[in-house]
Structure 1
């Protein structure tokens, strides 16, 4: 009876210890939050930061499930391509950068938690649960946005708009807490990552406002009127510009031709028809037009026309994008060695610190056993 009563009292006193840790100063003896000054309570701030991400995960999943089963979206607008919303590429680039920041936040939280284990002897899950939920929410937001474009349902942006606004408020709360805790320094990773995440959420919020402006409050609500000539042909197989950025960069949209080539040899009709913008006649006309402009400019300055300038004018954007991707790929090659170096240094420091603690403990025991001579 005494054991049962003790276990019941222990369960009642657990409270928020499962989130904040058994030795957390953010909780009182009953396991409730100490809210004398909210901005000083780290665990409570992290809990508030989780709520927007958790809400969006549940809401976005419910909306996608409901609209997938909804006949009007499932059958009347079903295709193998998408019509990109305004800011499509910028949204994907910001979301990818946000994913990188969230992975870094997760690593920072895990390492900080390991430090607390050594000093306080208990885990503090609130340090890494927020970035985990934010990671899941960010991935779901990309899936949500993709289906928004597939279904041409601009009204779905209201859900993500509210999410990005509340997520940005959560990051502002974290920054206020770090400022009150005297940790608002660029040398502190948690502070830097919070600023970067706040910028990302703010930019995504502005992109959603633009989508609502262009797709919801527009004069022509019929999405089929935006279909370009390239997609009205009988063989629209080249869809590089009518898929999401991830599929375009990774050539995922070409899987159909790989599967077909695996089954049988490919013929010329299997490749379909190139878009009008990539036909030789269109490219020749574009190059000739720019070359004539260059001839006029060169003649006015008394110089020979430069083919290099013509090529840069036509293909600068593509060359710049290819150069950025190449630069990112080269930088990504440095991530592995740097991570391995950091892990080795951390493990070595932890190992030798443990050895020093054990030697100090043994030495103190020997001194207490022998006593003064």
Structure 2
């Protein structure tokens, strides 16, 4: 089977633009490749130069540093973008399989390149964040703008040819337009807060005091969202524990915000804030004080705990569904075999 970006179907000229350039679906798909190629072409040299450089400005070999505005939102949107690109790739493969002639690379190659570009974008962002050199984020801003424009053109042409929400490819493209738009908004927010371009006085941010203390080894508040979720930053400690017993000095100190004295002072302030001059003898509520001091972390951890307990039922339910499906399939095969046997014996009984 011949391999071609637009296909080699006989009697069809897939490269024709007689009816308009944007009316050629293959050209629109090729246009969607441009932002991904641009990002890979620009970021790979920067990443390689950064890893091999010892410059104080582009040291991207740090384990952790500070977070730019919208850090968690960017990671969540990027994970969602990767998932949608996988769906787009799968839809393109299935669409290509329905064509029994030649392979049409334009159906799934842009999705594959988009997945690579999205992965590269989050790696690039992490390294720029750890180097505290936000000017290099301008490349990502240009990428999100280009990707948003090209996907919007594709969505517009789908609507022009009456490909609507009842079609999977339309829904996937609409989700990509939404995700690229949100990522572009996150990038604009970073520019607005950090003022690293288009402003006369950019904001200078120093790393947290805890990171400057070499005795602090608990890095959970300072690592990226992926490392927080998987506790990847603890790998050196876990690997070392397999080799020799852990010493207390290797565990290190807790960050200032997580020490007992800090939490005590926070709870004490919340407790004392309930005393009023009108009723100085009124006893403050310890529960209200705890909610004011630690309400958000408690609610967040409780929500995740309930979600984890509910998701614990997913495994047994999936097994139940699989067993039920196999049982029905086996019963249907037995009924079919019984019916065939009846049809064979019927003429014999008549004789």
Q: CA deviation at 1:40?
A: 2.8
Q: What secondary structure sits across from 1:248 in the alignment? A: helix
Cα offsets for 1:142-168 (capped at 9, x unmatched): 000011111111111111111000000
Question: Is residue 201 of structure 1 aligned with residue 142 of structure 2?
Answer: no
Question: Is residue 212 of structure 1 aligned with residue 199 of structure 2?
Answer: no
Question: Is residue 97 of structure 1 aligned with residue 76 of structure 2?
Answer: no
Q: How many residues align?
A: 317
Q: Do 1:154 and 1:215's aligned partners in 2 also have CA atoms closer than 8 Å?
A: no
Equivalent residues in 2 for 1:1-373 (5 A)?
A: 18-23=4-9, 28=13, 32-73=15-56, 79-114=62-97, 116-117=98-99, 120-185=100-165, 187-213=166-192, 214=194, 216=196, 217=199, 219=201, 223=205, 226-294=206-274, 307-322=286-301
Distance across 1 between alignment mates of 2:202 and 2:26 = 49
Q: What secondary structure sits across from 1:285 in the alignment? A: helix
CA RMSD between the two structures = 3.5
Partner residue, 1:8:
none
Q: Which stretches in structure 2 are left out of the alignment for 5+ residues? A: 330-351
Distance across 2 between alignment mates of 1:240 and 1:191 = 40
Q: Do 1:91 and 1:207's aligned partners in 2 also have CA atoms closer than 8 Å?
A: yes
The farther-off stretch of 206-215 and 72-81 is 72-81
Q: Which stretches in structure 1 are left out of the alignment for 5+ residues? A: 1-13, 349-373
- Normalised by the length of structure 2, the TM-score is 0.78
Cα offsets for 1:43-98 (capped at 9, x unmatched): 11111111111221121112212333344247867533211111111111111111
Cα offsets for 1:17-56 (capped at 9, x unmatched): 701223388x52xx63334223332211111111111221
Q: What secondary structure sits across from 1:201 in the alignment? A: helix
Distance across 1 between alignment mates of 2:109 and 2:37 = 11
Q: Do 1:34 and 1:41's aligned partners in 2 also have CA atoms closer than 8 Å?
A: yes
